[in-house]
């Protein structure tokens, strides 16, 4: 089985690219973030025509998550218990959706950005991650292979950003954010992609501005964290940097893992 995660930064703007990528990458399950679409705006028919079942959660023009699967799509969960929500009044945002695909519990996650170190969104981000960690430990407690896929908006290691000096007073690299990410690893989840894509400069996101992509000024913030029973099945992984190139690209690249002998690389 081949599973991927991709922040597409607007499914309506990039449906042609996503469709073409699915056809050539041969992935069985795709977790999508930042669809920026309401339910009635999501192009379900484009993906069902390719043989994928689709679950989507979108409330407005912001956020939005989806799972596409051609190996089954059961027990769909919209959000998770304990999601702290944001706003006044507090309300959950469209940031998480889960489903069982081919015996694997897959979650598509769009972690809050944090905005600035002293912004209320940062407190929301940390609370959101802690509540997710608690739920994730429960989901995998019975040995169910569980994959937490998405845009985590955290760069957990110094090598995951192009310049620590540049990010010194910014989000994504602060000690509280890194501690929140590492809490998943301490609870038993495994970063199943990094062992297959090691080294500094191995990024998943490049800003559109200031020629960040050609200047190699990126960040590694998209991850697939697997429970032990999932991690034991991973046989390969890759970051499809080529998909960041060209007209109309998302600012994120797809991240792929292969299970049970699959190399986890674009076909």
Q: Are 33 and 264 in contact (CB under 8 A)?
A: no
pLDDT of residue 241: 97
CA terminus-to-terminus distance, the chain: 13
Residue 116 pLDDT > 90: yes
Q: Is the dihedral of CA 202, 210, 156, 180 positive or negative?
A: negative
Q: What would the pLDDT profile of 24-33 be if each residue is shown by its tens digit?
A: 999 999 999 9
Q: What is the mean pLDDT of residues 87-114?
A: 96
Q: What does DSSP assign to residue 162?
A: S
How far apart are the C-alpha atoms of 213 and 183, rounded to whole Å? 30
Q: What is the mean pLDDT of residues 102-126?
A: 97
pLDDT of residue 266: 84
Helices (H), 66-212: 120-140, 175-186
pLDDT of residue 206: 98
Q: What is the mean pLDDT of residues 200-224?
A: 97
Q: Residue 136: left if φ>0, alpha if ψ -120 to 50, beta else—which one?
A: alpha
Q: What would the pLDDT profile of 140-162 be if each residue is shown by its tens digit?
A: 999 999 999 999 999 999 999 99
Residue with tokens 């792929």: 256
Residues above pLDDT 70, as percent of the chain: 100
How far apart are the C-alpha atoms of 266 and 257, rounded to whole Å? 10
How far apart are the C-alpha atoms of 158 and 144, rounded to whole Å? 32
CA atoms within 13 A on the CB side of 166: 8
Confidence class of residue 45 from pLDDT cuts 50, 70 and 90?
very high
Higher pLDDT, 136 or 267: 136
The neighbour count for residue 22, using CB atoms within 10 Å, is 21
Residues 6+ apart with CB under 8 A from 93: 59, 62, 63, 85, 86, 112
Q: What would the pLDDT profile of 160-185 be if each residue is shown by its tens digit?
A: 999 999 999 999 999 999 999 999 99
Average pLDDT, the chain: 97
Residues above pLDDT 90, as percent of the chain: 98
pLDDT of residue 36: 98
Query: Taking the C-alpha atoms of 254, 257, 262 and 265 in order, what is their torsion angle to the nearest 10 degrees?
Result: 30
Residue 267 pLDDT > 90: no
Strand locations in the chain (E): 2-7, 29-33, 53-57, 65-69, 74-78, 96-101, 104-110, 146-151, 190-191, 205-206, 218-219, 222-226, 234-239, 255-259
Q: What is the mean pLDDT of residues 81-108?
A: 96
């Amino acid at each position: 089985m081949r599973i991927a995660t991709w922040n597409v930064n607007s499914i309506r703007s990039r449906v042609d690219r996503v469709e073409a990528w699915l056809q050539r990458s041969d992935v069985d399950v795709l977790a999508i973030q930042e669809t920026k679409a309401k339910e009635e705006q999501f192009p379900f028919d484009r993906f069902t025509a390719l043989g994928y079942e689709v679950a989507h959660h979108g409330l407005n023009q912001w956020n939005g998550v989806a799972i596409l699967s051609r190996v089954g799509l059961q027990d769909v969960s919209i959000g998770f218990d304990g999601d702290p929500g944001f706003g006044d009044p507090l309300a959950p945002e469209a940031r998480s959706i889960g489903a069982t695909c081919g015996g694997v519990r897959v979650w598509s996650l769009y972690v809050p950005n944090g905005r600035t170190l002293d912004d209320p969104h940062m407190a929301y981000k940390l609370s959101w991650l802690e509540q997710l960690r608690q739920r994730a430990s429960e989901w995998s407690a019975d040995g169910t292979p569980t994959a937490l896929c998405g845009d985590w908006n955290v760069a957990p290691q110094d090598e995951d950003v192009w310049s620590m000096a540049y990010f010194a007073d910014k989000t994504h690299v602060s000690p509280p954010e890194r501690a929140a990410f590492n809490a998943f690893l301490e609870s038993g989840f495994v970063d199943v992609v990094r062992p297959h894509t090691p080294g500094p400069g191995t990024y998943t996101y490049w800003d559109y501005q200031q020629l960040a992509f050609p200047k190699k000024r990126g960040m590694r913030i998209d991850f697939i964290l697997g429970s032990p029973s999932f991690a034991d099945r991973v046989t390969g992984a890759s970051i499809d940097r080529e998909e960041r190139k060209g007209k109309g690209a998302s600012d994120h690249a797809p991240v792929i893992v292969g299970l049970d002998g699959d190399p986890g690389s674009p076909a």
